[in-house]
Amino acid sequence: MEQSAYLVIDDLTKVYERGQVVALKDVSFSVTKGEFLVIIGLSGSGKSTLLRCINRLIEPTAGTIRLDGVELTKLSASRMREVRRGIGMIFQHFNLVSRSTVLTNVLTGRLGYTSTWRSMAGWFSKEDYHLAMQNLERVGLKEKAYVRADELSGGQQQRVGIARALMQQPNLLLVDEPVSALDPATSSSIMQYFEEINRQDGVTVLTSLHFLSLARRYGSRILALKDGEIVFEGRPNEIDNVRFKEIYGEESEEVEVR
């Protein structure tokens, strides 16, 4: 059976008004359901901009984004909020509320479903609590539920970020440099959660990664950006030394790989 495209991006362009920076230039690619797409490229190449344009946290300047047949770029703000509920996001610096407990942080993943006054009053349903504890158990942090988020290690905080994203029961995960702030061993353990979520739950994953070694190991496909343009799209094992230098520049050695 032919796999139909799940996410289709056409001629996506982002120009930041301030400084007139062209962060993305006519970027086109598509993703099938269940793929694990890794986006690589030097600092400033447009990885974060691309990921954030997809759920319109950043408003694209031009181009179209179609997700599951819905043209996101045309949606009203309120419809976009609804669609965003099905899209989980994971951040490099975890973006937790540091003074809140782990459990509260995870529950906020549910906010899209809860009315504003309820969430402000800290009202979550029994089902929400149950789901939050389940997700914490999944990332091995059930016993930390009532600990303040800032008392956790970086790796543990990122696991909270994953549990929070899972609260949305997402179909798509947008992950921006999830392990850049972590040591190599912790990085692998975090990447394994994404691999599991991708394989077991069938969640489509788009992640930017700094290290080619991780990109090779986890990506089913790799997309490389350079100055806002796609310079490579293909399978991990197609990136040889020549490609590597095209992507990262002539002077770069395999220092990028660890």
Q: Report if residue 49 touches ligand ATP, rule: CB under 6 A.
A: yes
Interface pick for ligand ATP out of 47, 56, 144, 164 (rule CB under 6 A):
47
CB of 199 to Mg ion, least distance (A): 26
Computed on alpha carbons and rounded to an integer, the radius of gyration of the chain in Å comes to 18
State the Cα–Cα distance between residues 119 and 116, nearest whole angstrom.
Answer: 5
Give the β-pairing of 36-40 and 221-226.
parallel
Exposure of 30 in the CB half-sphere (CA atoms within 13 A): 14
The two structure tokens encoding residue 152: 């956790």
Does residue 19 touch ligand ATP according to CB under 6 A? yes
Stretch that binds ligand ATP, among 36-44, 77-85, 93-101, 247-255 (CB under 6 A): 36-44
Q: Does 198 engage in binding with ligand ATP (CB under 6 A)?
A: no
> What distance in Å separates the CA atoms of residue 21 and residue 15, rounded to the nearest whole number?
6
Q: Does 60 bind ligand ATP (CB under 6 A)?
A: no
Nearer to ligand ATP, 18 or 99 (CB): 18
Residue from 48, 55, 187, 198 in contact with Mg ion (CB under 5 A): 48
Tokens of 155: 């790796």
Residue 46: strand, helix, or coil? coil
Query: Where along the sequence are the contacts to ligand ATP (CB under 6 A)?
Result: 16, 18-19, 21, 23, 41, 43-49
